[in-house]
Amino acid sequence: MDYSASKRRRRRGGFRLNASKMFTFSKLLKIGFFVLLALLISVPLVFFWFSRDLPAPGTLVTLKQDEATRIYDRNNTLLYSVFQDENRTYVKLSEIPKQLQRATIAIEDKDFYTNQGFSPMAYLRVARDALTGQGITGGSTISQQLVKNVLLQDSSRSLPRKIKELILAIQVNQKYSKDQILEMYLNNIPYGGTAVGVESASQMYFGKEAKELTLAQSAFLAGLPQSPSLYSPFSGEKYYLDRAKSVLRQMVENDYITQSEADKAYKQVEKFKFVQKEDHAIKAPHFVMYVKDKLTEQFGQQRVTTGGLQVTTTLDYDLQKDAEKIVKDEIESLEKYDVTNGAAIIADPKTGEILSMVGSKDYFDEANDGNFNVAISNTRQPGSSMKPIVYATALEKGYTAATMLMDVKTEFPTDDPTEPLYNPVNYDGKFRGPVQMRYSLANSYNIPAVKMLAKVGIEPVMKQAYDMGINNWEPTAANRASVGLSLVLGGRETSLMDEVTAYSVFANGGIKHNPITILKITDSKGKVLFERDEPDKKRVLSEEVSFIISHMLLDNAARTEAFGASSALVIPGHEVSVKTGTTDQKRDNWTVGYTPSYVVGVWVGNNDNSPMNPAIASGVTGASPIWHDLMVLSLKGKPSEEIKKPEKVVALQIDALAGGLPHGGQGQRSEYFVKGTEPTAEASIYKNKDGQDYLIFKEDDPVSKDGQNRWQKGIEEWIEQAHKDDKMYHPPDELKNEGGNPEQSPTPTLQP
């Protein structure tokens, strides 16, 4: 009895459980029904709404010419029209090699022949990324890319455009066969520059008809449409190699070719020699291509190549024409010095605007990779041209233009076990003993510069340089670990563009402007898309330090020992601050100089980094004569500008030898100081005992790792060699112990 009742209760309980599940299931079915019904109603409505103003897919057969993007100089001179000389030759699919067709399908849309013009998985990714705040992303099929290039003007990554693209892609697949779609795609896709379609691209890159293309050439071309500017072999980089490798790998995975065929084709791609025909329609080509890349970053490749952008740049083409001729003529005259290339930039330091950019001797010089823009290449060693930043860092820390350092043979310890001691030398192999900062910088003496770097520290100098625009000197842990005291002599690479930016800080009283090349962008109907208003600026150096560095760099009397009184660094009728730089083995030669209104930077050397003739001499040959002519060109008809002395800078008569207050019968000179750093006493090197005057030179060694004072050792060896019999340099021991630090009094107040 009890058992039966229990059994009935279990049955009733089980019934209640099953009924609950059925109710939930029924509810879910009802919700699902209404969701499905909503989708069935809304999706057609969405498609209908976005289909209202879509172009007919039949217009794909009409090869319309897209509106050209035009790039102008600041005075409205047309520099370049992207499709001005477009050579679009339509070829049938039967005349396009199967390997190129397959390469394109493999890398762009492997399911091309089986999909309906779109990838459902790609749209799921679009929805996912949109919902998670990553923007509208997702890859496009060949049909969608064809639609984008021919039918849709809107190149934005928006949901409405994606929907329009989807609708048209579906319609195109319904109207045309797959072979027709592929044929239209291969004839309408941009391949870089003015090349639209495979026939134009084949002629541009290989000088042959498309039907003659090899597997290797097909793999190269198939990789370009994704980003023609990035993968262009004329950009100076070789990113196209990895892209071609990816194309070949996809062809292998899709069973179009064997791995052996892929390997053989890639070896051929590595050996490609591309020929770029001279295009007389392009003016200032290096600058234009630089601007074109900037536009691509902002608007995307498609908008730049077909969107009808009208771009006003900062370039002064009248100045550019003369600058190009000056660089070319001078480099050709340096052939006997084993110099094949040069670059130059002229900028306005008050705004950061680039007025002229010459990226090489000749953009169309195929033998020397003339299309490679050396002016923006971050791979050249600056030599001594970065010394002003080291000394600026020192001035910010309280040192002065009168600070004296001993220019004597000195060993500096390193962290390199193969070369534990670093032994820098001056350009002429001579040592001059006590030298004040003004003369050390003006004559570009190396040992005092290395000592100053050791005193102020590598990291503060790298940070100062980075703040001023030397991007490759960012003081990260990895970057700091890769440099030593040779940093001040060019131990880390930079670019001419960055150097001009940094020197603009000195010219502009410590205010930095980032380089600017674009002033205004409108669409083809005149709608303003971008317009530069107030330039971005940031103080990265004090006005006082900028003035003192600038004054040291324009002091022709101070640099006479190294450069002579009438070097190429002198611009008659104008005060111009200037610094040169030459690397070991003469691989890079620089001159950068400025007034308050113009900064001119010049580099000469060889693209392959091979040494120039040792006869190249800063201030006489190489970059300096080019710089001289460019500065004269820039200042033609302009009045001389003096750098404005800040109120907190004072002038003082000082001891010409040691930098303290005047001493006895010693020579005197005038020097500028930031208020609070001027000397208040005579230098401590002067001692007298029993009527005999003595000079006592002492330096501490801040980088010693073993307790040895190698700086003092260098001083003592110099005295023995240069003043062995001069009693003044050999004081009694009791005087030596009293002092003699060569720095002026007072000791600099080091800032944190």
Tens digit of pLDDT for each residue in 542-560? 999 999 999 999 999 999 9
pLDDT of residue 62: 47
C-alpha torsion angle, residues 45, 46, 49, 55 (rounded to 10): -120
Distance CA 98, CA 216 (A): 13
| pLDDT category of residue 120 using cuts at 50, 70 and 90 | low
Residues 374, 359: Cα–Cα separation, whole Å? 5
Helix (H) or strand (E) holding 200: helix 198-206
Average pLDDT over residues 626-654: 96
pLDDT, residue 751, reads: 39
Distance, in Å, from the CA atom of 185 to the CA atom of 198, rounded to the nearest integer, reads: 9
Burial code (b: 16+ CB inside 10 Å, e: under 16) for 125-164 equals ebeeebeeeeeeebebbbbbbbbbbbbbbebeeeeebbbb
Of 567 and 203, the structure prediction assigns the larger pLDDT to 567
The predicted structure's pLDDT at residue 466: 97
Of 704 and 42, the structure prediction assigns the larger pLDDT to 704
Q: Residue 654 pLDDT > 60, yes or no?
A: yes
Indicate the range of 161-165, 484-488, 699-703 predicted with least confidence.
161-165
In angstroms, the CA 361 to CA 434 distance is 42
Phi then psi for residue 253, to 5 deg, are: -65, -25
| pLDDT on residue 655 | 96
**How far apart are the C-alpha atoms of 148 and 163, rounded to whole Å?**
12
Residue 22 has pLDDT above 70, yes or no: no
Residues 595-608 have a mean pLDDT of: 96
Summarised one tens digit per residue, pLDDT across range 32-57 is 555 555 545 544 554 444 444 545 55
Q: Is the pLDDT at 752 greater than 50, yes or no?
A: no
What is the SS3 string spanning 681-743?
Answer: CCCCCEEEECCEEEECCCCCCCCCCCCCCHHHHHHHHHHHHHCCCCHHHCCCHHHHCCCCCCC
For residue 77, how far is the Cα from the chain centroid?
Answer: 26
CA distance 12 to 734: 114
Q: Is the pLDDT at 731 greater than 80, yes or no? A: yes
Mean pLDDT of 240-266: 95
- Does the pLDDT of residue 533 top 90, yes or no? no
The two three-digit tokens of residue 122, written as one number? 């790609």
pTM above 0.75, yes or no: no
pLDDT over 90 percentage in the chain:
62
Beta 588-594 vs 577-582: how paired, if at all?
antiparallel
pLDDT for residue 145: 83
Query: Which residues, other chains included, contact 326 with Cβ-Cβ below 8 Å and sequence gap of 6+?
Result: 344, 626, 629, 630, 633
Q: Where are the beta strands (DSSP E) in 622-683?
A: 649-655, 668-674
Of 144-153, 460-469, 535-544, 577-586, the least confident = 144-153
Percent of the chain with pLDDT strictly greater than 70? 82
Ramachandran bin of 144, using left for φ above 0, alpha for ψ from -120 to 50, beta for the remaining angles: alpha
Sequence-distant (≥ 6) Cβ neighbours of residue 45 within 8 angstroms: none
Nearest to 96 by CA among 206, 205, 213, 208: 213
Measured between alpha carbons, how far is residue 147 from residues 51, 54, 61, 333, 412 in Å?
A: 14, 11, 12, 53, 65
In angstroms, rounded to a whole number, what is the distance separating the alpha carbons of residues 678 and 663? 15
Mean pLDDT of 334-363: 96
C-alpha span between 425 and 431 (Å, rounded): 8
C-alpha–C-alpha distance, residues 508 and 513, integer Å: 9
With contact defined as beta carbons under 8 Å apart, do 70 and 81 qualify? yes
Mean per-residue pLDDT for 463-488?
Answer: 96
Tokens of 77: 């001179």
- Token look-up 């209640």 returns 16
pLDDT at 189: 86
Q: What is the pLDDT of residue 301?
A: 75
pLDDT band for 526, please (50, 70, 90 cuts): confident
Run of H or E residues at 313:
strand 310-313
- Confidence at 509, pLDDT banded by 50, 70, 90: very high
H or E stretch including 600?
strand 599-605
So what's the pLDDT on residue 147? 79
What secondary structure, in 3-state letters, does 23-43 show? HHHHHHHHHHHHHHHHHHHHH
The answer to whether 374 touches 603, Cβ cutoff 8 Å, is yes
Of the segments 123-132, 198-207, 394-403, which one has the largest average pLDDT value? Answer: 394-403
**CA atoms of 385 and 502, how far apart (whole Å):** 11
In this prediction, residues 498-508 reach a mean pLDDT of 98
DSSP H stretches of helix in 52-141: 98-108, 120-131
User: How confident is the prediction for the chain on average, in pLDDT?
Assistant: 85
Which of 75-84, 231-240, 710-719 is least confident? 75-84
Q: How confident is the model at residue 699 (pLDDT cuts 50, 70, 90)?
A: very high
- Alpha-carbon torsion 117, 120, 121, 122, what sign? positive
Residue 1 has pLDDT above 70, yes or no: no
Please give the structure tokens belonging to residue 289. 């291509």
Mean pLDDT of 248-269: 96
Mean of pLDDT values over 143-172 = 69
Q: Please state the rounded mean pLDDT for residues 615-627.
A: 89
pLDDT grade, residue 740 (50/70/90)? Answer: low
